[in-house]
Amino acid sequence: MAKLVSDDLRLIVESPRKIERAVREDKRWPGWEVVVGIEVHAQVKSRRKLFSDALTSKPGEKPNSFVTCYDAALPGTLPSSLASAFDRKHYFYSDLPAGYQITQRYVPFAKGGHLDLSSSCDNLRVGITQIQLEQDTAKSIFDARRGITQVDLNRAGSGLVEIVSEPDMRSPEEAGNYVRTLQAMLRAVGASDGNMELGSLRCDVNVSVNKHGHPLGTRCEIKNLNSVKFMMIAITSEVFRHIDLLERGQTVPQETRGFDEVKAETFKLRSKEDSPDYRYIPDPNLPPLLLSPVYFQEYIDRVRRSMPELPRETRARLMSMGLTEQEAEVLMAVDAGREVRFDGEPAKGAVQYFDCLAQGRSAKAAVNWMIHELLGQLAARKETFSDNPVSVEQMGELVDMVQNGEMTGKSGKALLRHMVTSRSTASPSILARELGLLAISDDDGSLLKNWCLEAIEALPEEVQKVRDGNIKVMNRIMGKVMQLSGGRVKAGDVTQMLEVLLRKS
Amino acid sequence: MTLAVKDNICTASLPTTCSSAMLAGYTSPFDATVVELLRDEGAQIIGKANCDEFGMGSLNVNSIHGPVVNPFQPTDAYDVPLMAHEPRSAGGSSGGSAASVAARLCTAALGTDTGGSVRLPASYCGVVGLKPSYGLISRWGVVSFADSLDCVGVLARSVDTVKEVFDVISVYDARDPTAASPELRKRASSTAEPCLPKLFSSNTLDGLRIGVPQEYFPLELEPSITSSLRTIIRNLKDAGATIRPVSLPATQYALSAYYVIASAEASSNLARFDGIQYGLRVPPPAGASRSKPSNVYAHSRSSGFGREVRKRILLGTYALTADAFDNYFLQAQRVRAYIKADFNRVFRHPCVHLAHPESCLSADGVDVLLHPSAIRTAPRLAEKRECDTSSIDEYLQDVMTVPASLAGLPALSVPAGLGEDGWPVGMSVVGQWGTDQLVLQVGRVIEGIR
């Protein structure tokens, strides 16, 4: 039982902070400044629900099969939790069995942070007002034919994280950039898979407009946007609606609005006067958890040490290893497609694969083989990186063999194609031998000489042309040598040998 | 051991109605932890005990099962049949639990105590009632009235029986998020342990300091109760205890703070009774608005909840609205903090919840407090009907019991003789958090004085 400090419960209501930025005229709305703040709700990628032992479910599972007595709000049940300080938000709705949602209003999980947007030319930093944990609701499905609402409690009580930004964005594009960056961050730390199509990440956006140099306009909130594209369209349409009202001498009423994806415009849900009083109360079952200072420090240190690398750090590290920005972006884009596992378990992605491959090898060679050859082979088969059958060990051995000259680059590529197709787990050296892809041991160059002579004999016309000075035709003779050798000779050696032989005769 | 269980404690084998039309016929799919623990020890549950609806009331008259009649027989009326008595209240809200013990229907009974609901009926029925320290007994399976105050309590005819039951159910349960950790329990009992062995070995109270809080003598206190207290004090002194007047100045605000906090939490906890998944469902009449879920729920909730429950839900809902929150709910929380600080100032034993428990100790602090459990003996049931228009009187019954609830302290009501009218009087022993064994032991001495 922790001491309740009542004065902690008084909310300090500050007027929205607005960062001043250099006036940048937007051709779509000259003279106007757009101000956007975003609330992101992301499902926590956790095996269990926030306050019960029930497992979390995926959409499409059998309704009401992931439910404990607590999730169904049966009398006499209590939440189970090791987390600290939650509040109840009350409203009556069929998808809320307890009549309240457990959230964090008074003492949120975290306060006053920021997010640096990736791939932003201005290095834009968006302030994060607060991050809070809360329960997801159940799902109510209205059956219009039968005129009834059905309730599925599978999702009830799953964990959600709500991330509230400051109104720091100035265009629909910045808003899109913010959500994408946040999504990558959530995935990188394993907090959420951030999948907007499946609804594991949804956004509410606050939009207002004001003339340059003027104070903030009245904001409207657009609820429940479930794709970055729709969010940007919704903001654009809302901006034009506000400007239109203001230019006609009217005011913008403070409202909560929805978004019609078909008409690509927002519509009124409720005005400020109708906004419900949620009667927040600190949850008496989930009081603040008091940790001893020693334990607390140790805990924080442990979490800090186990923090995965954030996208921005990964990019910087990859570039410091000698990768170009573009190569780093490709690796990270592929990495972003990896599975986010439960409860922050590390998952294997493209970056981790690269890191292992580059261990003790040239980073440049590793990234070339990965991006151009491996990803290329997979893409040709319409497969993604998660389908990659080639282990880091196999890939590493293959790269080494090419680097050491045991195999030519061409043979290496052929071998990789074979490995991707056959999904063989055998070592590349064994496979290369089986397939006759090993470079020829030809210390005195006699083999090479024989192939070259053979080629010269087979292509008398071409030989004549080369002798007449048409050097380009040399390539055809080289091609013949390659064909005869099965690609196991180096192009440089062939050129040298041919030059010698052609000069001689 | 035979046992009665208050009807707001879940049992899988018997319905759990909370004395409400809302849950008439509701049977829980699980047993409360306390029920499980006692059944494992061989207790036989003889039935569910009547109570005030969802634990809200002090006279056990707010119940779909009707009022509980106090089974006590005054000595001058032994030859008058029970039905011929002018019926008196058994007290509430655990009236059925107290009455079943007093009428010898069972060895012990489980009740719940949010603001006095075990101690008041114990006092009125002439039995022993313990409200343990908050967090010692699991609330899993107890239908929440006000989570920050609700405690499972024990009623029996002797302190020893109460202790026997308490010892079985006072164990840590991970299913209760407010359960006191085993480590905290150990720390608290070790602070009071030094004075226990001596108390156990003999009935002497040498070295024990008992405080009598001067704020616990309101104008409404019946004079005969004060004389019972004097008798007890005299006897305790004779047994070697030091009696000391103490002051708990925040007590005057306790009742108002209690009703704000308890009602606010109740309005939240009772939001789940909407007639959708379980419980009473009254469909909206033809033509009624169905535009919002709350419009549909209102019909079930208005018919399912009794008058007192509806009143408290409205009161609590108001206290939590954005406009009233600061002046009511936060103010009440501040009062609660003052009340805790008051208690911590007078006790010899440190409050183990504090970061620096020893910092606020007074050298001459007391081991326990002693005060009347109620301002009067059991009221006549008819009186309740007369004053139906105002329940302030009923709320006043709790004035002596709510401070310990707000502070989460162990409090035991022990029979202490009879009042002028020949009906039982109870005295309360209150200790620092976690010193329940000390409180029980002092109660045992008082029990022996009679």
B303, two tokens: 């018919």
3-state secondary structure of A345: coil
**Contact call for A281 and B264, based on CB within 8 A:** yes
B positions 165-184 inside 8 Å of A (CB): 174-178, 180
Q: A291 in contact with B at a CB cutoff of 8 Å? A: no
The rounded distance, in Å, linking the Cα atoms of B122 and A155 is: 45
The pTM of the full predicted model, rounded to 2 decimals, is 0.87
A471, two tokens: 């050097």
| Amino acid at site B282 | V
Going from the C-alpha of A167 to that of each of A15, A105, A170, A178, A275, the distances in angstroms are 11, 19, 8, 12, 21
Question: What is chain A's Cα-based Rg?
Answer: 31
> How far away is chain B from the Cα of A123, in angstroms, using its nearest Cα?
40
Q: What percent of chain B has pLDDT over 70?
A: 93
- The DSSP string of A243-277 is HHHHHTT--PPPEEEEEETTTTEEEEEEEGGG---
Q: Which phi and psi (to 5°) does residue A503 adopt?
A: -65, -40
The rounded distance, in Å, linking the Cα atoms of A402 and A409 is: 6
Sequence-ordered list of residues with C-beta below 8 angstroms from that of A497, at least 6 positions apart, any chain:
A445, A448, A449, A452
- The DSSP string of B344-396 is HHHBSS--TTSSSGGGG--TT-BSEEEEESSSSSPPBHHHHHHTTT--HHHHH
The pLDDT assigned to A403 comes to 87
**Contact call for A99 and B178, based on CB within 8 A:** no
Which residues from B are below 8 Å from A1, CB to CB? 134-135, 178, 180, 353, 408
Q: DSSP code of A37?
A: E
**Contact call for A284 and B148, based on CB within 8 A:** yes
A381, two tokens: 């088969």
| Amino acid at site B304 | G
Q: Which domains does chain B have, with CATH numbers?
A: 2-254+334-449 (3.90.1300.10), 255-333 (no CATH)
The rounded distance, in Å, linking the Cα atoms of B46 and A45 is: 47
The rounded distance, in Å, linking the Cα atoms of A333 and A184 is: 10
Long-range contacts at A192-197 (CB < 8 A, ≥ 24 apart): A192/A42, A192/A43, A192/A44, A192/A45, A192/A161, A192/A340, A193/A43, A193/A45, A193/A339, A193/A340, A194/A42, A194/A340, A196/A226, A196/A227, A196/A228, A197/A226, A197/A227
Number of H helices, E strands in chain A: 15, 13
The pLDDT assigned to B287 comes to 93
Label residue B9 exposed, middle or buried (CB < 10 Å: 0-12, 13-18, 19+): buried
The rounded distance, in Å, linking the Cα atoms of A129 and A163 is: 8
The rounded distance, in Å, linking the Cα atoms of B146 and B163 is: 25
Say if CB B277 and CB A72 are below 8 A apart: yes
A383, two tokens: 């497969």
Nearest residue on chain A to B434, judged by CA atoms?
Answer: A1
Q: A12 in contact with B at a CB cutoff of 8 Å? A: no
* Strands laid side by side in the B242-246 sheet: B44-49, B2-6, B108-113, B151-156, B128-131, B411-418, B424-431, B368-372, B209-213, B242-246
- B160-197: b (≥16 Cβ within 10 Å) or e: ebbbbbbebbbeebebbbbbbeeebbebbbebbeebee
The pLDDT assigned to A151 comes to 94
B239, two tokens: 């047994």
Q: How many contacts, defined by CB atoms under 8 Å, are there between A and B?
A: 121
> Minimal CA–CA distance to B20: which of B395, B308, B295, B386?
B308
Say if CB B434 and CB B180 are below 8 A apart: yes
Which stretches of chain A drop beneath a pLDDT of 50?
Answer: 1-8, 10-14
Nearest residue on chain B to A87, judged by CA atoms?
Answer: B268
Q: Are strands A87-90 and A100-103 parallel, antiparallel or unpaired?
A: antiparallel
Report whether pLDDT(B292) > 50: yes
Out of A90, A94, A281, name the one closest to residue B276 (CB).
Answer: A94
> Minimal CA–CA distance to A117: which of A171, A166, A164, A184?
A184
Instruction: Give the mutation candidate from A281, A286, A291, A295 for the B interface (greatest B CB count, under 10 A).
Output: A281
**Contact call for A10 and B330, based on CB within 8 A:** yes
A387's enclosing H/E stretch is none
The more confidently predicted of residues A432 and B3 is B3
The rounded distance, in Å, linking the Cα atoms of B233 and B213 is: 13
B412's enclosing H/E stretch is strand B411-418
Sequence-ordered list of residues with C-beta below 8 angstroms from that of B303, at least 6 positions apart, any chain:
B21, B280, B282
A298, two tokens: 């140790």
Residues of B taking part in catalysis:
6, 93, 117
Farthest-apart Cα atoms in chain B, separation: 74
B71, two tokens: 């089974």
Sequence-ordered list of residues with C-beta below 8 angstroms from that of B146, at least 6 positions apart, any chain:
A284, B114, B261, B262, B263, B264, B265, B266, B269
pLDDT digits (tens, 9 = 90+) for B299-322: 999 999 999 999 999 999 999 999
Say if CB A501 and CB A480 are below 8 A apart: no
Count the Cβ atoms, other than its own, within 10 Å of residue A385.
19
The rounded distance, in Å, linking the Cα atoms of B144 and B8 is: 8
Which residues from A are below 8 Å from B143, CB to CB? 75-76
B positions 29-58 inside 8 Å of A (CB): 29-30, 32
> How far away is chain B from the Cα of A312, in angstroms, using its nearest Cα?
39
The more confidently predicted of residues B1 and A494 is B1
The pLDDT assigned to B447 comes to 93
Report whether pLDDT(B389) > 50: no
> Minimal CA–CA distance to A56: which of A138, A150, A163, A141?
A138
The rounded distance, in Å, linking the Cα atoms of B309 and B67 is: 15
pLDDT digits (tens, 9 = 90+) for B355-382: 676 665 667 899 999 999 999 999 999 8
Alpha helices in A359-408 (DSSP H): 363-368, 375-380, 392-403
Count the Cβ atoms, other than its own, within 10 Å of residue B239.
17
Phi-psi bin for B299: left (phi > 0), alpha (psi -120 to 50), beta? Answer: alpha
A32, two tokens: 């106007």
3-state secondary structure of B320: helix
Q: Which residues pair with B415 in a beta bridge?
A: B426
**Contact call for A80 and B355, based on CB within 8 A:** no
The pLDDT assigned to B408 comes to 98
Helical pair B436-449 and B223-238, crossing angle rounded to 10 deg: 100
The pLDDT assigned to B108 comes to 98
- Distance from CA of residue B422 to its chain's centroid? 24
> How far away is chain B from the Cα of A68, in angstroms, using its nearest Cα?
11
Q: A76 in contact with B at a CB cutoff of 8 Å? A: yes
**Contact call for B317 and A93, based on CB within 8 A:** no
Out of B174, B294, B354, name the one closest to residue A80 (CB).
Answer: B174
Alpha helices in B239-330 (DSSP H): 251-269, 293-304, 307-320
Out of A78, A97, A100, name the one closest to residue B140 (CB).
Answer: A78
Q: B314 in contact with A at a CB cutoff of 8 Å? A: no
B218, two tokens: 């309101």
- Separation of first and last alpha carbons in chain B: 25
Which residues from A are below 8 Å from B273, CB to CB? 75
pLDDT mean across residues, chain B: 92
Q: Which phi and psi (to 5°) does residue B301 adopt?
A: -70, -40
pLDDT digits (tens, 9 = 90+) for A459-505: 988 888 888 888 888 888 988 888 888 777 888 888 888 888 888 65
Say if CB A185 and CB A310 are below 8 A apart: yes
Going from the C-alpha of A290 to that of each of A4, A129, A279, A406, the distances in angstroms are 11, 24, 26, 63
The ipTM value here is 0.94
Q: Which residue has the tokens 């006072």?
A: B170
Say if CB B59 and CB B89 are below 8 A apart: yes
The rounded distance, in Å, linking the Cα atoms of A184 and A98 is: 34
The rounded distance, in Å, linking the Cα atoms of B151 and B437 is: 16
pLDDT digits (tens, 9 = 90+) for A101-116: 999 999 898 999 999 9
The count of C-alpha atoms lying within 13 angstroms of the C-alpha of B334, restricted to the half-sphere facing its C-beta, is 11
